[in-house]
Every structure is written in structure tokens, then in C-alpha cells.
């Protein structure tokens, strides 16, 4: 896919208010509220904004944090990382490299083989199920 570059107004027209708040304004959905936090369905998770394939369901695990968690992205080049110093913390923000959508954060307390936990907002994702 080519890089997606839209104005805030274009995104507002395409996305519902909650999806816009999370993906375009770096918001966070409430824990345990998202449709994928406890999903066990098989498939590929895509960016809700641009459709970029981001995570395989095989890399999803139950971290107990209330958000979908993955131990690695589909490939290294689908995720962009940047330092986030909001809320009096230093964290690593995770964005879709294709459209810049805020997805969540990555932490170094995940399982083997990577030791990483990509903590992702459900509203940022669209699961394309294997059965579809």
C-alpha cells in the first residue's frame, strides 16, 4: 500500500467519533471494553483507518491488561514507534506506518519469543477472519 495522507477533516468524515479520538488524537479506549480484548478468532488484524495488515491472530495473547496484546507485528515495517511522554510517563507509542494511526503502545514485558507486548486499542483494528 502507498502512504495515506488525509486531512483531519477527511478522517472525521470517515471515522466515528471514538475511532477518530483514539486513532487520530492518540486516545485510549477503556480497558476490557474493546471488541477484540478477549477475541480468540483466527485471522489478520488490519488498521481500521487504511486497511494495512498489522498483526496475525497467532501472535495475540491474553496479557490480562484489558486490551488486545500481541508479541510481534506482521512485519517490522508495518509499525512505526515513537517516544510518548504524555501522562507523566515515558512510553513507546505504536502507530500504523501507512497512515499514522495511533494503535497503542509497546512494552518489554511480553512473552517469548520477543519479550514484547504490543498493547493495542480494539477500535484501531479490523479483524479479517480466516473463515471469511
CA angle 69, 94, 11 (to 5 degrees): 110
96 is an annotated ligand-binding site residue = yes
Stretch (H or E) spanning 126: strand 125-129
99 is an annotated ligand-binding site residue = yes
49 is an annotated ligand-binding site residue = no
- Report, as residue numbers or ranges, the catalytic residues: 119
Sign (positive or negative) of CA dihedral 65, 67, 69, 75: negative
Return the C-alpha torsion angle 95, 78, 114, 125, nearest 10. Answer: 60
65 is an annotated ligand-binding site residue = no
Numbered residues of the known binding site for Zn(2+)? 47, 50, 96, 99
Numbered residues of the known binding site? 47, 50, 96, 99
Amino acid at each position: 500500500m502507498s502512504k495515506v495522507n488525509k486531512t483531519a477533516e477527511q478522517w472525521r468524515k470517515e471515522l466515528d467519533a471514538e475511532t477518530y479520538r483514539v486513532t487520530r488524537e492518540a486516545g485510549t479506549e477503556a480497558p476490557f471494553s474493546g471488541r477484540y480484548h478477549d477475541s480468540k478468532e483466527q485471522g489478520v488484524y488490519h488498521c481500521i483507518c487504511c486497511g494495512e495488515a498489522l498483526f496475525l491472530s497467532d501472535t495475540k495473547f491474553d496479557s490480562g491488561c484489558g486490551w488486545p496484546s500481541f508479541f510481534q507485528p506482521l512485519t517490522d515495517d508495518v509499525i512505526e514507534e515513537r517516544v510518548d511522554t504524555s501522562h507523566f510517563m515515558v512510553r513507546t507509542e505504536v502507530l500504523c506506518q501507512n497512515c499514522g494511526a495511533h494503535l497503542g503502545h509497546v512494552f518489554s514485558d511480553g512473552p517469548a519469543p520477543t519479550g514484547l507486548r504490543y498493547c493495542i486499542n480494539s477500535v484501531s483494528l479490523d479483524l479479517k477472519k480466516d473463515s471469511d
